[in-house]
Amino acid sequence: MMKLVQAKAGASDIAMASRSAEKSFLIVFILISYKFLKPKIRKIGVISEKIYNFTQLILRKMSIKSQIESLRSGLPEGVKLLAVSKFHPAEAITEAYEAGQRAFGESRPQELKQKYELLPKDIEWHMIGHLQTNKVKYIAPFVTLIESLDSERLAEEIERQAAKNNRVIDCLLEIHVAAEQTKSGWDYAELVEFVEKGGFAALPHIRVRGVMGMATFTDDKAVVRADFERLAACKADLAKYFSDEFDILSMGMSDDYRLAIEYGTTEVRIGSTIFGSRVY
Question: How large is the average pLDDT for residues 167-179?
Answer: 96
- The answer to whether the predicted template modeling score (pTM) of the entire model surpasses 0.85 is no
Residue 61 confidence (pLDDT): 54
Contacts of 85 (CB under 8 A, 6+ apart): 92, 93, 96, 104, 105, 106, 115, 271, 275
Least confident residue range of 30-44, 68-82, 92-106, 203-217: 30-44
Residue 277 confidence (pLDDT): 74
Residue 173 confidence (pLDDT): 98
Residue-wise pLDDT tens digits, 233-253: 999 999 999 999 999 999 999
- Rounded distance between C-alpha atoms, residue 18 and residue 11, angstroms: 10
In the structure, what pLDDT confidence band is assigned to residue 43 with cuts at 50, 70 and 90? low
Q: Please answer whether residues 120 and 142 qualify as being in contact, where contact means their C-beta atoms are separated by less than 8 angstroms.
A: no
Distance, C-alpha 182 to centroid of its chain: 20
